[in-house]
Amino acid sequence: MRILKYLNEETPGSGAKWAKHWLTDGLRDLEALVSRSAGVYAVGDKVSMADLCIPSIMYNAKRWGVDISVFPTLSKIDAALGEIPEFQAAHPDKQPDANMNA
């Protein structure tokens, strides 16, 4: 967030452009990687360590306007993880400081 704040102070609107660019770039690579190993989740049909980062990355991608429809494997995994109560409880919007992140 510090980088985005700095970029927006220097050039208004540039922080969102920067975030969208780098999220898209990273998601493209992650999509290619998990598409080779995915089942219901990133590595087969059981939740693994590989799944833990996906919801937060997808949340930020949506937040910054990334077109996630071009990442079907990640979208499918994110939706499956979103059905798990522990992932639901850990969702950023459910955290005590959620309004501070707006």
Q: Which CATH class is domain 2-94?
A: mainly alpha
> What does the domain layout of the chain look like in residue ranges?
2-94
Calculate mean pLDDT across residues 69-91. 96
| 8-65 per-position pLDDT tens digit | 677 777 778 888 889 999 999 999 999 999 999 999 999 999 999 999 999 999 999 9
- With b for 16 or more beta-carbon neighbours within 10 A and e for fewer, the 40-77 pattern comes to ebbbeeebeebbeebbebbeebeebebebeebebbbeb
| pLDDT value of residue 99 | 72
pTM of the entire structure? 0.83
Confidence of residue 102 (pLDDT cuts 50, 70, 90): low
